[in-house]
Amino acid sequence: MIELNENKISKPHVVVVPYPSQGHINPLLQFAKRLASKGVKATLATTKQTMGSISSLRDVAVEAISDGFDDQGPPKVGSEDVFLNSFKSNGSSSLARIIESYQNTTFPVTCVVYDAFLPWALDVAKDYGLLGAAFFTNAAAVCAIFCCVGNGLIELPLRPVEVGCALPKMPLFKGNDLPTFLRKPESYPAYLAMKLRQFSNVDLADWIFCNSFEDLELEITEGIFEKWPAKLIGPMVPSSYLDGRIEGDIGYGASLWKPLSEKCKEWLQNKPKKSVIYISFGSMVSLTQEQMEEIAWALKQSNYYFLWVVRDSQASKLPKEFLEDVEITQKGMVVTWCNQLEVLAHEATACFVTHCGWNSTLEGLSLGVPMVGVPQWSDQLPDAKFIEEVWGVGVWAKEDDKGVVRKEHLSECLKEVMEGERSEEIRENALKWKELSKKAVSDGGSSDNHVEDFVEHLKCTSFSTKKPNGSLVS
């Protein structure tokens, strides 16, 4: 049972529940840290499998939540439905247990901030009479499109003209730049259903947050906020890279793979300023062998320094001759995982070849690094479009009709961003967005104001936790 109590100032307790992947844990954990820095007790509830990837954090407690695969890890690709259903049932009961475990303590739970991929967490919060806040981890523009579909304003398969009618301030879509799940609804039915379920009960959420910021996306998403009243509170990037107000906040504090930080720093150290291309496809993308080869030979042909993250699972796709060549020329380095923020922030880094996952896109924008987008699926396509057409911070390397970005084209894109006609303009835009990102989360910035309002609401809310059957706990 929640009642607003203007006079009562106590320390509210927020439990933050991310979807268990790198691209979701990072921004939600960052939000937890941001809330803790403003006087809120924050607890991250994450799966047993991902708990070990969280470094010990001074201000955020960590609790285990079950996805039903605690010991063996999630099932392989193709069983998304099985995983999501299991997470829903096991996650709901273990989240309920966490909430109950804090009843009758100094810090009963006030609010559940849940990853919008997990709408069942809101049901649990509401069963206990708590506040519930949805956190969307995609670009606001992408959420806006999914929201239109979820609310029946646009039909599937998605067509550009309908997006234009529903969201008139969006740039003109061509078709192949729309999110793949919506353009080809049959391609990933489990993920599509999950993305649409984000809107199934969001009307019941007390707050809706999106990891973006107003200067970046408020205008292009005009028209959606009646249906989806989200507050843009990002970028959720560690404070030391932006406003610097959270002491010691130099990294996300979560890494599913071991970052080879020292090796990267050492290698970058003696490279000239703005001379290195950093390439990463995030934590999930799996490129074809053909695509890997095209990238490898584009790097060789371009002859710039490069640092390429190739996860262990992808390493066998690298051509042997390419690795031998790298060994001899020392032009590049291939690592299995790195601290991406450190690399992007390094003065030697000039360009970011990215799959345009939303965190990577925000990190590139926040650190002012020009980008070459090589999107693969999902929201990465519209993100690449915005990078090139809307924010002007890079170019989109397009695939051919066989779905492969060829080495000649990728080399041209690299050259364009590094030293081509548009390079200066791109660099200037990148610096502009870096400043605006910083402004948004700094004291009095648009994102900071929304977070402050949320914290104020939490602080003015007093609680007596309800049992799911409706009776009061105490």
Question: Which residues are marked as active site?
Answer: 24, 115
Task: Give min distance, CB of 366 to ligand UDP, in A.
Answer: 11
Task: Give min distance, CB of 313 to ligand UDP, in A.
Answer: 13
Residues in 286-325 that interact with ligand UDP by CB under 6 A: 309
Cβ-based burial of 50 (10 A; exposed 0-12, middle 13-18, buried ≥19): buried
* Residue (18 or 68) nearer to ligand UDP, CB: 18
Identify the three-state secondary structure at position 207.
strand
How many CB atoms within 10 Å of residue 52? 9
Confirm or reject binding of residue 239 to ligand UDP (CB under 6 A).
no
Return the structure tokens found at 381.
């396509």
Single residue of 29, 134, 338, 365 touching ligand UDP by CB under 6 A: 338
Single residue of 20, 119, 129, 282 touching ligand UDP by CB under 6 A: 282
Single residue of 19, 20, 22, 170 touching ligand UDP by CB under 6 A: 22
Phi and psi for 63 in degrees, rounded to 5?
-125, 150
Which letter does DSSP use for residue 157 in this model? Answer: S
Single residue of 47, 49, 211, 340 touching ligand UDP by CB under 6 A: 340
Choose among 365, 367, 357, 422: nearest CA to 395: 422
Return the structure tokens found at 404.
């492969």
Confirm or reject binding of residue 47 to ligand UDP (CB under 6 A).
no
Q: Tell me the C-alpha to C-alpha distance, in Å, between residue 276 and each of 23, 47, 268, 419.
A: 24, 36, 8, 13
Q: Given the rule CB under 6 A, which of 356-364, 408-416, 429-437, 458-466 is the region that contacts ligand UDP? A: 356-364
Confirm or reject binding of residue 228 to ligand UDP (CB under 6 A).
no
Residues in 79-98 that interact with ligand UDP by CB under 6 A: none
* Residue (194 or 338) nearer to ligand UDP, CB: 338
Count of chain residues binding ligand UDP (CB under 6 A): 20
Confirm or reject binding of residue 171 to ligand UDP (CB under 6 A).
no
* Residue (120 or 252) nearer to ligand UDP, CB: 252
Single residue of 214, 217, 294, 363 touching ligand UDP by CB under 6 A: 363
Confirm or reject binding of residue 465 to ligand UDP (CB under 6 A).
no
Residues in 184-223 that interact with ligand UDP by CB under 6 A: none
DSSP sequence for 347-412: TTEEEEEE---HHHHHHHHHTT--EEE---STTHHHHHHIIIIIS-SEEE----TTS---HHHHHH
- What gap in Å lies between CA 444 and CA 232, rounded to an integer? 14
- What gap in Å lies between CA 83 and CA 74, rounded to an integer? 7
Confirm or reject binding of residue 461 to ligand UDP (CB under 6 A).
no
Amino acid at 385: K
Confirm or reject binding of residue 337 to ligand UDP (CB under 6 A).
yes
- What gap in Å lies between CA 187 and CA 400, rounded to an integer? 20
388 and 422 Cβ atoms separated by less than 8 Å:
no
* Residue (23 or 160) nearer to ligand UDP, CB: 23
Confirm or reject binding of residue 30 to ligand UDP (CB under 6 A).
no
Q: Given the rule CB under 6 A, which of 31-39, 157-165, 279-287, 443-451 is the region that contacts ligand UDP? A: 279-287
Single residue of 30, 66, 360, 446 touching ligand UDP by CB under 6 A: 360
β-partners of residue 112 are 15, 132
Return the structure tokens found at 287.
């490129």
Single residue of 198, 359, 437, 465 touching ligand UDP by CB under 6 A: 359
The binding track of 110-149 with respect to ligand UDP, each residue x by CB under 6 A or -, is ----------------------------------------
Task: Give min distance, CB of 53 to ligand UDP, in A.
Answer: 11
Q: Which residues contact residue 49 at a Cβ distance below 8 angstroms, ignoring those fewer than 6 apart?
A: 20, 67, 69, 70, 73, 74
CB burial readout 283-294, b (16+ within 10 A) else e? bebebeeebbbb
DSSP sequence for 22-51: HHHHHHHHHHHHHHHHTT-EEEEEEEHHHH
* Residue (69 or 252) nearer to ligand UDP, CB: 252
Confirm or reject binding of residue 364 to ligand UDP (CB under 6 A).
no
Return the structure tokens found at 426.
């791109």
Confirm or reject binding of residue 240 to ligand UDP (CB under 6 A).
no
Task: Give min distance, CB of 28 to ligand UDP, in A.
Answer: 11
Angle at 404 between CA 400 and CA 408, to 5 degrees: 75
Choose among 304, 298, 306, 318: nearest CA to 408: 298
- What gap in Å lies between CA 196 and CA 178, rounded to an integer? 15
Confirm or reject binding of residue 181 to ligand UDP (CB under 6 A).
no
Confirm or reject binding of residue 12 to ligand UDP (CB under 6 A).
no
Task: Give min distance, CB of 397 to ligand UDP, in A.
Answer: 17
Confirm or reject binding of residue 377 to ligand UDP (CB under 6 A).
no
Confirm or reject binding of residue 249 to ligand UDP (CB under 6 A).
no
Q: Given the rule CB under 6 A, which of 113-121, 171-179, 338-346, 451-459 is the region that contacts ligand UDP? A: 338-346
Identify the three-state secondary structure at position 447.
helix
The residues that touch ligand UDP, with contacts defined as CB under 6 A, are: 21-23, 26, 280, 282-285, 309, 337-341, 357-360, 363
